[in-house]
Amino acid sequence: MDNAEELRKAKIQRMEDAAAVKVPDRIPIGIATSYFPAKYAGVSYEEMWYDNNKYIEVGAKFCRDFNWDAVSFHRSFESVPIGLALASFDADLAILVAVNSVLGGGASHDILADVYSSNPGREVGKNIESQWVIKKPVMNDDEWDFLIEKPFDFMTETILPRAYKNLADKSSPTAIGSLIKFGMEVGKFPGFLMEMAGKLKEEAWLPYYYAVAPNPLDFIGAFYRDFDVLSLDLYRHPEKVKKACEGLAPVLAAVGKMTGKISLDVTGSRRVFCPIWYNTYLSPEKFKEFHFPYIKQIVNELVEAGFTPLMSFQGRSDHLLEIYKELPAGKVIMWFDKTDVVKAREVLGDKYCIAGGVPCSLLISGTPEKVKSHTEKLINNMKSGGTFIVSTEFNGMGDAKVENVKAMTETVMNYGKY
């Protein structure tokens, strides 16, 4: 692209203005999707997940053809626990491993044989989405005290050998060999990052996010206990759950700040992805007791350090909107899945940037006319009284029809101008 740098700067400005509740030149469009761009480029989900060259090609093609203001082609998180376990040994290595986990694709899944992901072309078909389902808890019911007292030792001694089948016996050739292979893979990562950074500039490709700050309750649910078992823990061991969250919150805030710094250097974006899954499971009382205090702590630390938390409230949050008003106004983006954004605006008022509004179901099942009319109506409803980013549910538009995605994009570009 000839004017890539100008275009990229304009996108950064548009997204920053929206986040800060300053009216931008146009309503931006920001989405996370891995599968739609793969399908659009004629590449299998398996290749998108495992072939870093294809991943960059697909991303670049998608950015050229759709020119969204921000887009992330999310992959997976399988090696995050290894990154965290290394924190007390070498912080830089730890963060390299953590970032590699988010951007490095499926290689670590194959090398370490984790129990978390079912990946395309491996446990599921080559054009089926990767899914994160733990078949049985990695952490046992009687291990809360160890987690609370020594979170890093717990990670290294208890979680790693169970989470990664190839590390089950730490002194075995399989484990040692797997760690060497994993190290070789991580060693390739800075090169990939450089190549990616070049491509981002060349194609005016601005990631929706590139950094991540998990929160404690979701982290425990995703990596240690599984969400249904953690639901029972909230009744059976409430105090232990809270203690464990207290211990993890500063560690995870540090992950957000360190990945945020890398992201700012590479992409120019201050956004840090804060995925929030468990909100949809919890009553307002339980959300306030077990989830929100630690989310707020992390968000406040990120904001203080100059980052913009991109809060991905997945599932449905309608019952929690009043509580979200405690988050710093004009400093966060509230990105909703199923929550009605018009209702969210009514409750949250004009001091927050809201993202969302186009359901993937419409992009999959609807027609271009329906998509256009929905997007126009959405823009009319959301254009005033705060700022807005057109988005869809997190990584949900794999099966969308190309003509519908084009209709959404064109409507935002033409109709979203201020």
Partner 1 sequence: MDEISEAIKELEEQKVLKLVKERLDAGEDPIKILEACRFGMAEIGKDAGDTIFLTDLIMAGEIFNEAMALLMPKLVGSSTTNLGKVVIGTVEGDIHNIGKDIAINFLKAEGFEVVDLGVDVPAQKFVDAVKEHNPPVVGMSGLLTLSIEPMKKSIDAIAAAGLRDKVKVIIGGERTDEEVCKHVGADAWVNDAIEGVKIIKAWVGGA
The footprint of partner 1 (CB under 8 A) covers: 35, 118, 124-125, 128-129, 131, 133, 227-228, 231-232, 234-236, 280-283, 286, 315-316, 319, 337-338, 359-362, 364-366, 393, 396-399
Integer Cα distance of 397 and 35 in angstroms: 7
Closest CB 110 distance from partner 1, rounded Å: 19
Minimum CB–partner distance for residue 283 and partner 1 (Å)? 4
H helix or E strand, kind and range, residue 354: strand 353-357
CA 296 to chain centre: 17
User: In whole angstroms, what is the distance from residue 188 CA to residue 51 CA?
Assistant: 13
Cβ 360 to partner 1 shortest distance, Å: 5
| Pick from 317, 313, 372, 374: nearest CA to 347 | 317
Number of neighbours of residue 324 by Cβ within 10 angstroms: 22
CB of 231 to partner 1, least distance (A): 4
Q: How far is CA 107 from the centre of its chain?
A: 19
**Structure tokens, 251:** 């560690």
Q: Determine the straight-line distance between the first and last CA of the chain, rounded to whole angstroms.
A: 25
CA distances 15 to 81, 208, 300, 384, Å, are: 31, 9, 20, 16
Measured from the CB atom, is 117 or 308 closer to partner 1? 117
Instruction: Give the nearer residue to partner 1 in terms of CB position, either 108 or 317.
Output: 317
**Nearer to partner 1 among residue 39 and residue 257 (C-beta):** 39
Q: How far is the CB of 123 from partner 1 (least distance, A)?
A: 8
Residue (213 or 397) nearer to partner 1, CB: 397
The DSSP 8-state label assigned to residue 26 in this structure reads B
DSSP 328: P
The answer to whether 8 touches 206, Cβ cutoff 8 Å, is: yes
CB closer to partner 1, 260 vs 357: 357
Token match 């951007």: residue?
103
Give me the residues paired with residue 72 across strands: 32
How many contiguous H segments (helices) and E segments (strands) does the chain have?
Answer: 21, 9
Nearer to partner 1, 13 or 231 (CB): 231
CB of 316 to partner 1, least distance (A): 7
Residue 46 beta carbon to partner 1: minimum distance, rounded to whole angstroms = 14
Q: Which two tokens stand for residue 58?
A: 């697909």
CA gap 39, 186 in Å, rounded: 28
Minimum CB separation of residue 320 from partner 1 in Å reads 10
Of residues 401 and 406, the one with the C-beta less far from partner 1: 401
In the complex with partner 1, the residue whose CB is nearer, 193 or 400, is: 400
CB of 400 to partner 1, least distance (A): 8
Between CA 70 and CA 23 the distance in angstroms is 17
Please spell the DSSP secondary structure of 246-299, one letter per residue. Answer: HHHHHHHHHHHHHHHHHHHHHHS--EEEEEE-GGGGS-HHHIIIIIHHHHHHHH
What angle is formed at CA 354 by the lines to CA 251 and CA 210, rounded to 5 degrees?
40
Give the residue with the Cβ less far from partner 1, 214 or 396: 396
- Minimum distance from residue 29 beta carbon to partner 1 (Å): 18
Alpha-carbon dihedral of residues 176, 178, 181, 182, nearest 10 degrees?
Answer: -110
Toward partner 1, which CB reaches closer, 161 or 359? 359
Amino acid (one-letter) located at 241: V
